[in-house]
Structure 1
Amino acid sequence: MAEIKYEIVKNIGVLSENQKGWRKELNLVSWNGREPKFDLRDWSEDHEKMGKGVTLSQEEVNALKEILANLNN
């Protein structure tokens, strides 16, 4: 299996933390040297291990923001 390279360019925030210390984080991440994208997933404390997540472009984040803003309407 090919190695996946990543760089957390910016930590935007932590949504939660479980009992084992893993945190669900929203970060700006560059995958394999590509343009950074918004990334939501679980990370170990040292950011060496990660869970499955979702990666979003700026346009997708804007659409999600609008959807979430309309949830209470």
Structure 2
Amino acid sequence: MCTTPRGSIDIAEVKRQQTTAGEPVHLPDPTRPPRPAPHCDVCAALDRQREQAEKSGNIRKATSCEEEIRRHPGHGKQP
């Protein structure tokens, strides 16, 4: 037991209430293009379009292709 200006504090109770941080959350790097899903023709085609758009300087189209790859079914769980 510890006495403070606000009253008594049970140190054992404080220690029981303390929590520890959980496992760290790993988020994908949003500045890197997404990885196409393996063996997916749609993802492969979008990745080729993204690469061509990037090489030609069409960043808007490249970004659009990246978003389509990220939203393609089966892509939600990939980093």
**Where on the TM-score scale, by shorter chain, does this alignment land: which range?**
under 0.3
Which structure has the higher relative contact order (CA within 8 Å, separation 6+)? 2
Q: Which has the higher helix share?
A: 2
More strand as a share of residues: 1
